[in-house]
Amino acid sequence: MSIGTDHRSAGPDPEPEPEPEIAPARFGRTVAVEWTQPPDPRGGWTDYATLEPRPVQTCLPVGRLVHDDDCVKILAGSAVIVGDGQRVMLSGIIEIPARCVARIVWLVEEAG
């Protein structure tokens, strides 16, 4: 795979971008999504006087973009067509809040 177009957003909510002009896949396009993930919730009680913000994590998962709207982007790490091609099974699902997405990079699939 090679890296395709970098789709950066001017604001916090990326606008839908047209897909590259290549043959459509049966179940989503292969993309890399750069997004910001907050830290895990703290367990137990925390003294307000000692509360300090924790750093966020920048994530860059690669997978099939199987759902894309203004609320959520859903990636699948793996996809399999079952039986007569009418049923698609997905695994490694990642649901990303759309407002956390910094950019989506379309990856170009090459034969070989």
* pLDDT (tens digit per residue) in 31-73: 999 999 998 888 889 999 999 999 999 999 999 999 999 999 9
pLDDT tens profile 74-108: 999 998 888 876 788 899 999 999 999 999 999 98
Of 42, 40, 36, 24, the residue nearest 96 (C-alpha): 36
pLDDT of the residue at 12: 54
Residue 36 near residue 58 (C-beta atoms within 8 A): yes
Domain ranges of the chain: 2-15+27-38+56-108
> What CATH architecture is 2-15+27-38+56-108?
Roll (2.30)
- Residues 56 and 83: beta-carbon distance below 8 Å: no
- What local confidence, expressed as pLDDT, does residue 110 receive? 78
